[in-house]
């Protein structure tokens, strides 16, 4: 199963501060602690939360994770232990480590399993137009790939790799801690189970090499913030690359699912008398008929002018909300016309004002009783 994004595990953004990470960790650890939560998957979630905190609370590890993802901590990379051994670091750093190792230990992994690829994440920002219509984007990123010189062993081709004397080739060691026996990644061989005396000249014994990649990503029409595009085998090692979509805010439209919303300002004459106005859509301008006596905030629905669903043929609607605009920079003639209109207007021309004033009068009458 692919490793989940550590930021997602803790429920924080990638720009989260140390304090935000600490608070999020305490909240999640308290929620999923095996002594408090008896749900079937609580134990696994508790271990996952501790692992995420171990990496994101350490500045150097967090920087490595931000650049390389989970591949930075695999055996042969920066020493991340296998899942059966816990989530890394020195034993006894916090109580969560003890529970994690206690519940998670028991089975050793083969060298090939420990060196399996990891998934990577790439954040891709799109304009609303690109997201709605679909686009091809070229992305560049750095990743770790299996060294072609040693094929991931870390040893010079032709040299021998004797079994690690500390773990006897298992890649894990057992440590006694009170009543518990805890399994951890072997500190001598970093979980590989072998000792590399003659290191590969290309990778320096790490088994992996940094590689810059440039890919063309086909973004389907209709994607929205939170959608992910999976590129199989483009991650670290033989892992996958997940392109995480974020749609930028738009100066005119707001999106909610497959529907679009926009505010359309009109002058009070058009609102009072009615007529036709031009409104924007993603396909160009269209005419919209405004009925007489239209009030501000009235919404007009344009069917099929929204966004086509990325998962089907359904298409959303466009909702245009009318905002009656008060005129500014009036000349004397315009002011006089408005004064004339004001002098002839009565309560029948402003029913909402009359209703409001009646309510105010009743309010003060009730206070004086």
Residue predicted with more confidence, 147 or 73 = 147
Q: Are residues 120 and 230 in the same domain?
A: yes
Task: Give the mean pLDDT of 14-22.
Answer: 90
Task: Judge whether 164 is annotated as a binding position.
Answer: yes
* Helix (H), strand (E) at residue 157: none
174 among the known binding-site residues? no
* Range of lowest pLDDT (155-169, 219-233, 305-319): 155-169
**262 marked as part of a ligand binding site:** no
Structural domain contains residue 32: yes
Residue 320 annotated as part of some ligand binding site: no
338 vs 328: CA distance, rounded Å: 12
Is 1 a domain residue? Answer: no
164 versus 347: the higher-pLDDT residue is 164
In a shared domain, residues 76 and 158: yes
- 40 shares a domain with 15: yes
Q: Exposed (0-12), middle (13-18) or buried (19+): which is 52, by Cβ within 10 Å?
A: buried
Task: Evaluate if residue 248 carries a pLDDT over 90.
Answer: yes
User: Are residues 291 and 232 located together in one domain of the fold?
Assistant: no
DSSP 87-108: S-SSTTSSHHHHHHHHHH-S--
CATH number at residue 87: 1.10.287.110
Least confident of 44-58, 94-108, 244-258: 94-108
Q: What range does the domain containing 84 cover? A: 6-247
Q: Is 189 annotated as a binding residue?
A: yes
Going 253 to 280 to 138 to 152, the CA torsion angle's sign is: positive
pLDDT on residue 120: 87
Mean pLDDT of 125-129: 95
Query: Does 343 score more than 80 pLDDT?
Result: no
Among residues 220, 247, 274, the one where a domain terminates is 247
- Tens of pLDDT, residues 159-203: 878 888 888 888 888 877 665 667 778 887 777 788 877 888 878
Residues 267 and 221 in one domain: no
Q: Are residues 280 and 306 in the same domain?
A: yes
206 and 344 inside one domain: no
Residues 98 and 122 in one domain: yes
**Last residue of a domain, which of 214, 247, 280?**
247
Is residue 170 included in any domain, yes or no?
yes
Written as six digits, the tokens of 191 are 């979980």
Regarding whether 284 and 168 lie in a shared domain, the answer is no
Residues 259 and 177 in one domain: no
Looking at the structure of the chain, the number of domains it has is 2
pTM over 0.75: no
242 and 261, same domain (yes or no): no
Check the annotation: does 150 bind a ligand.
yes
Integer Cα distance of 126 and 133 in angstroms: 11
Nearest residue to 302 via CA among 278, 324, 274: 278
Among the candidates 210, 231, 247, a domain finishes at 247
Decide if pLDDT at 363 tops 50: yes
Chain mean position to CA 44 = 22
pLDDT in tens, 49-97: 888 999 999 888 888 888 777 777 664 444 333 333 333 333 333 333 3
């Amino acid at each position: 199963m692919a490793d989940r994004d550590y930021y997602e595990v803790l429920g924080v953004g990638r720009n989260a501060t140390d304090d935000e990470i600490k608070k999020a960790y305490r909240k999640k650890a308290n929620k999923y602690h095996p002594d408090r939560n008896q749900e079937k998957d609580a134990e696994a979630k508790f271990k996952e939360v501790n692992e995420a905190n171990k990496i994101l609370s350490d500045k150097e590890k967090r920087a490595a994770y931000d650049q390389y993802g989970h591949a930075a901590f695999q055996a042969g990379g920066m020493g991340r232990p296998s899942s059966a051994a816990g989530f890394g670091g020195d034993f006894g750093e916090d109580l969560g480590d003890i529970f994690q190792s206690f519940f998670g230990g028991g089975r050793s992994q083969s060298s090939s399993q420990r060196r399996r690829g990891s998934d990577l994440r790439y954040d891709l920002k799109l304009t609303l137009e690109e997201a709605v219509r679909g686009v091809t984007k070229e992305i560049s990123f750095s990743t770790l790939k299996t060294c072609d010189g040693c094929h991931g062993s870390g040893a010079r081709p032709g040299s021998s790799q004797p079994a690690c004397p500390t773990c006897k080739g298992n890649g894990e060691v057992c440590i006694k801690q009170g009543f518990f026996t805890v399994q951890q990644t072997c500190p001598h061989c970093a979980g590989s189970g072998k000792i590399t005396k003659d290191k590969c000249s290309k990778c320096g014994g790490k088994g992996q090499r940094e590689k810059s990649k440039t890919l063309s990503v086909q973004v389907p029409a209709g994607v929205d913030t939170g959608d992910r595009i999976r590129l199989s085998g483009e991650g670290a090692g033989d892992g996958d690359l997940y392109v995480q979509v974020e749609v930028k805010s738009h100066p005119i439209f707001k999106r909610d699912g497959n529907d679009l919303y926009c505010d359309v300002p009109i002058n009070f004459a058009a609102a009072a008398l009615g007529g036709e106005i031009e409104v924007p859509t993603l396909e160009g301008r269209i005419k919209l008929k405004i009925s007489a006596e239209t009030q501000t905030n009235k919404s007009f629905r344009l069917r099929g002018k929204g966004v086509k669903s990325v998962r089907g043929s359904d298409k959303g609607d466009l909702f245009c909300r009318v905002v009656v605009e008060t005129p500014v920079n009036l000349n004397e003639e315009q002011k006089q016309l408005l004064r004339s209109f004001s002098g002839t207007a009565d309560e029948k021309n402003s029913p909402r004002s009359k209703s409001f004033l009646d309510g105010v009068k009743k309010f003060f009458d009730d206070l004086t009783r």
